[in-house]
Amino acid sequence: MFSKTESVAHVVEEMKRNSSRWVKTLTPKYDRFAWQGGYAAFSVSQSVVEKTRQYVMNQTVHHKKVSFRDEYISFLKLYNIEYCEKYVFSD
C-alpha cells in the first residue's frame, strides 16, 4: 500500500535498485542483471486483493497455459488502455 505522498515512480525505482543489488549477491552469474527500463503499475480493489494474491502465487502454472505477453495485451484491450504493441515489451 502506498502513502498519499509516495509516487509510484519512486517506489518502483527503489524496488528495482534494492532488488538488483540483492540478486547480484546470489551468484556471479547474475553480475550483469538489470531491470528493463519501463514498468506498469495497476491498482487493485480491496474486494479482489485475495484473488489477486492467489493469481500471483500461481503465475508459474498459469503462464504455462497463457503467455504473460498475451495475457498482458488482452488486459490492456479489456480495459481500453491505449498502447503501441511495438513498445509494450521493449526499452
**pLDDT band at 85; cut points 50, 70, 90:** confident
The three cell numbers locating residue 31: 553480475
What gap in Å lies between CA 41 and CA 5, rounded to an integer? 17
The pLDDT tens digits of the residues spanning 4-53 come to 888 999 999 999 999 999 999 999 999 999 998 888 888 889 999 999 99
Lowest mean pLDDT among 2-6, 19-23, 55-59, 68-72: 2-6
**What is the pLDDT, as a whole number, of residue 1?**
63
Give the count of alpha carbons within 13 A of 72, CB side only.
Answer: 15
User: Cβ–Cβ contacts within 10 Å for residue 13, how many?
Assistant: 13
What gap in Å lies between CA 35 and CA 30, rounded to an integer? 12
